[in-house]
Structure 1
Amino acid sequence: MEIIHVSAECYPVAKAGGLGDVVGALPKYQVKAGHIAKVVMPMYRTKFLYENDWTVDFKGQANLGNWFFDYTVIKESSNKLGYDLYLIDINGLLDRQKIYGYDDDAERFTAFQIAFVNWMIHWEHQPDVIHCHDYHTGLIPFMMQYCYDYNGLKRIPSVITIHNAQYQGWMGWEKSRYIPRWDLWKRGMLDWNDNINPLASGIKCASKVTTVSWSYMDELRISSNGLEKLFEFERGKCVGILNGIDNEVWNPATDKYLEHHFSVKNVATGKKKNKAVLCERFGLDADKPLFVFIGRLVGEKAADILPYAIRLAIEQTQGQASFLVLGSGETAVEWEFQQMTEPYKGVFNVVIGYDETLSHLMYAGADFLLMPSRVEPCGLNQMYSMRYGTVPIVRSTGGLQDTVVDMGDPDGFGIRFNHATPEDVNYSIGRAVSVYQDSTHMEWMRKRMMQIDHSWESTVDEYTNVYKSLK
């Protein structure tokens, strides 16, 4: 099959979160399974763009309302990612370093989607499926079905995968003029609560809707930032498919970011060496259990409760545990963490920002990973940590409860709690400190989780079945 993935992110080209990891890995494993997979995304001005060779694949013209624009499609020449990568450039909109966060994001991503379907209509053949990812591509199924200029794309099935339903791309109806000539009788396919809602439109218009875990699919009918009734109504075409991780990138035995490699056979000594490097760098005691948080410092991740939870844990354990945080996000949370470095010197440290190399070292050297998320559609961090023998401490939500079995259950290897509160986090840290003191049990948990297969191979088969059901 020929599958075209359309996304705002793709690792290592441009990544802000799990969306980038998924779109960077899924097509690679689809190609390995014998399919033709391609990725199309905006041409941000990133390091990847300037360090690789490109060929111009297509030049075209389209319009965003009354603004007519030229666009260029370029293709990465070497196929170094394992699949064909295409970037769409629109001067004045997509020629920026950051992925998100601009006042004109609605215009940027709408124009990107218009350029994509405009390019597709010029293809000499048609792919088997268009696979859209999140709201940034949610208008594509509508435009394929109901824009007069793109009637030739009507017969191509489309799938939209929801990585995070909290972000929906709302636009006022005055921006309906952006969308190329469309059937006005189909207004309802764009509308949700008197706004144009690209994510809702994608759910209504796509042939199939997938989410990135089984539990998240169920949760969306209860809590989806206003789309609960829509998910209930469309439940017949919705499927939960658990994300995988790229076992070639995330492999402690070969990880290019690690100085000290290890596997299941020597996990204790391997982690000890990486922990020593990590603790020396950040002024922490390598003999104490090390807890880390890696991710965005935002409400969804419950990062706002962590400063108090960590202070509480340090005081209750009398400094018998160490904590290291890597992330960025809400200014207030960043500031609160920074204020903790001096009074808790020796047991706490923080790095504001994102560092890919450091994140790999933290997974390899830490004993426990904290993930108190309020919302976690799938979560990849807990899978990375398990691959590196780091015990995940997670809230029971979304993909976290699908992938982590509490150590109190038969064959359990992780720690789960129910509420995103400092008290629940602190209690879980106490459980972790207790199990850390039992080296035999700790090593068993590490080896157990490292042998769980979260690779993309089985996930690829599930997506293939979805695609085949659309024929």
Structure 2
Amino acid sequence: MKKILFAASEIHPLIKTGGLADVAGALPIALRKKGLDVRLIMPAYQGILDKVESIYHSTNLGNPFGIGDIILLESRLRENDIPIWLVQCQALYERDGGPYLDTNGLDYVDNHLRFGAFSWAIAMLAQHGNLLGWQADILHLNDWQTGFAAAYLKSWKLNHLPIVSTIHNLRYNGSFDMARYGDMRLSNELLDLHGMEFYGRFSGLKAGLVYADRITTVSPTYAKEILTSEYGDGMDGTLRAIRYKLTGILNGVDYDQWSPEKDDHIATHYSPDTIEKKLDNKLALLRENGLSEDPTKLVFGVVSRLTEQKGLDLILEAIPQVLNKGARLIILGSGDRALETAYQALQASYPEQVSIRIGYHEAYSHRIQAGVDALLIPSRFEPCGLTQLYALKYGTLPVVRKTGGLADTVFEGTEQANGFVFENATALDLSKALERCLTCFADMQAWRIRQFNAMQYDFSWETVTDEWIELYNQLA
């Protein structure tokens, strides 16, 4: 039985800011179902200990950074009994803000040290786990917050276990001012063009890439896109040099959490055979938001960070034309303050048709997926995207830009069409897609066919775990 140490800075349901948490909370479960011994490691942020089983063992790793003892706490997740190590250091992790940002929404000034220490603990466990009775065969790192672990293992100049490093979003490269490098307790030998130096800074993500044995990212199309200057965010030259290590494996969905047949958060359960019951959820959602309840009007939804990366500025330009034809728009998200303000102004202009809720609410996001007719995802780039995968299962047709994982999962113009796709990140192209969506909705038979197609696609984790097992086998 292969033993995998799976390292991530956030894991659902313990803590979540984005798709990484969903992946880290679901992929290990799917792999364990296939017989792999996967164990997790994550920082012990404030309040996390209340969300796991009792701590049954602790190991003090000392105080190598001079900021307090780093302690490995062994526990299990309550929901599925997966073993987890929580890295405890009060000075670094027990704070009132989120995992990366303080209460003012700004990056912690010592994030390099917070995730350097976390990565150091990962590397220690990966290298010396036999002392705790469990030695991993493979170390699986996720994003820049764990990438420094590969650098520590490299700097120790010991034979170490194989490393897989997964890129969930290349834009977040975890780069820091070189003046802070001395805090990291890493060798200066790693600071060169072929190491972790990144445009005069040092980067956790680059460390995780150059010192890994295999690199994965979260969709096949994104794996190709990041080799180009347009999508490479300055890392494309490095990636082209090590492209032989790079593979794209599509993310999956936990259908125990995201399925209209069993979702406890929605008004009425339904399936492809009872798709007409989706209307109950639509009317309930409109009622919840104080919008006029007309089942003949198409309802668009957005569940997203409000950023230009997600194309939310394009929606603002394109949506009035369909609102003026009677459509509705329901939005859940937060992000850029200017976009938040602009969407609140849109709501004020169309109070009977537009509702925006700033923030993130898990149960409400489920009700949106079940209640709207179409989900808008006009991203300028999208490594994988999970919201479109959820939408497909709920018979909610995605309107997406053809990029990254959106291009791999949403199709138009074929017999298997399951949504609406546009090419260019412009308000004009999005407008044309919205018009095609309205036209299709007016022909309920054509709409039902597309809904049925959408709900038939299987993006469960069980369908992708074989690719992970094959990759692990190659490494081992």
Structure-2-length-normalised TM-score? 0.93
- Displacement, 1:369? 0.3
Conserved 8 A contact 2:423-2:429: yes
Q: How many residues align?
A: 460
Q: Who is 1:293 aligned against?
A: 302
- Structure 1's unaligned 5+ residue stretches are none
Q: Who is 1:416 aligned against?
A: 421
- Secondary structure of 1:299's counterpart equals coil
Find the aligned partners of 2:222 and 2:99 in 1 and give their Cα distance.
Answer: 25
Which deviates the most, 177-186 or 257-266? 177-186
Q: Who is 1:173 aligned against?
A: 178
Q: Who is 1:263 aligned against?
A: 271
Q: Who is 2:383 aligned against?
A: 377
- Displacement, 1:30? 0.4
Find the aligned partners of 2:146 and 2:190 in 1 and give their Cα distance.
Answer: 22
Conserved 8 A contact 1:213-1:243: yes
Q: Who is 2:317 aligned against?
A: 308
Q: Who is 1:11 aligned against?
A: 12
Conserved 8 A contact 2:392-2:418: no
Find the aligned partners of 1:446 and 1:290 in 2 and give their Cα distance.
Answer: 15
- Displacement, 1:81? 2.8
- Displacement, 1:221? 0.6
Question: Residue deviations 1:170-191, cap 9 Å, x none?
Answer: 1222222233353737744221
The structure 1 residue matched to 2:114, chosen from 104, 108, 111, is 108
- Aligned-partner residue type, residue 472 of structure 2: Y
1:56 and 1:194, CA in 2 relative to 1: closer, same or farther beyond 3 A? farther
Residues 125-274 of structure 1 mapped to structure 2, 5 A cutoff: 125-147=134-156, 151=158, 154-180=159-185, 182=187, 184=189, 187=192, 188-222=194-228, 223-268=231-276, 270-274=277-281
Question: Residue deviations 1:262-292, cap 9 Å, x none?
Answer: 1111012x21000010011112234211000
Conserved 8 A contact 1:146-1:183: no
In the alignment, structure 1 residue 387 sits paired with structure 2 residue 393: yes
Q: Who is 1:337 aligned against?
A: 343
Moved over 6 A (4+): none
Question: Residue deviations 1:5-27, cap 9 Å, x none?
Answer: 11111111111111111111000
Find the aligned partners of 2:52 and 2:472 in 1 and give their Cα distance.
Answer: 32
- Displacement, 1:144? 1.1
- Displacement, 1:365? 0.9
- Displacement, 1:237? 0.7
Question: Residue deviations 1:219-259, cap 9 Å, x none?
Answer: 00112110111111111010010111111111111112123
- Displacement, 1:63? 4.7
Conserved 8 A contact 2:260-2:393: yes
In the alignment, structure 1 residue 457 sits paired with structure 2 residue 457: no
Question: Residue deviations 1:103-138, cap 9 Å, x none?
Answer: 222221111111222344442252110000001111
Conserved 8 A contact 1:56-1:73: no
Q: Who is 2:408 aligned against?
A: 402
Conserved 8 A contact 2:400-2:421: yes
Q: Who is 2:50 aligned against?
A: 50
Find the aligned partners of 2:435 and 2:399 in 1 and give their Cα distance.
Answer: 11
- Secondary structure of 2:349's counterpart equals coil
- Secondary structure of 2:73's counterpart equals strand
Find the aligned partners of 2:361 and 2:241 in 1 and give their Cα distance.
Answer: 42
Which deviates the most, 167-176 or 13-22? 167-176
Find the aligned partners of 1:50 and 1:252 in 2 and give their Cα distance.
Answer: 30
- Displacement, 1:354? 0.5
Conserved 8 A contact 1:62-1:68: no
The structure 1 residue matched to 2:287, chosen from 271, 280, 288, is 280
- Structure 2's unaligned 5+ residue stretches are 102-107
Conserved 8 A contact 2:63-2:70: no
Structure-1-length-normalised TM-score? 0.94
